[in-house]
A and B are shown apart, each in its own frame.
Chain A
């Protein structure tokens, strides 16, 4: 009930925080995950090279 009243009194804050801030957060998390994935993949390949596990095709 309290949220109903608050959203009607602060519609722009509700729209901003609820949808745009959440969407932005989702995008930031996705980008961070992609960057992290690249870092660990590169690290794995470098480790493989250093330990001589690599079988080059």
Chain B
């Protein structure tokens, strides 16, 4: 079974996103983080 969970981090602060991204990529092989180009929370999500 090769299933990997697709994860997305939603955080308005880049530092928050980056910190969690590093932890997940370093310690959680079951998740592949999706690319999030940018998140404009003032606009439609």
A and B physically associate: no
Which B residues are closer than 8 A to A by beta carbons? none
Which A residues are closer than 8 A to B by beta carbons? none
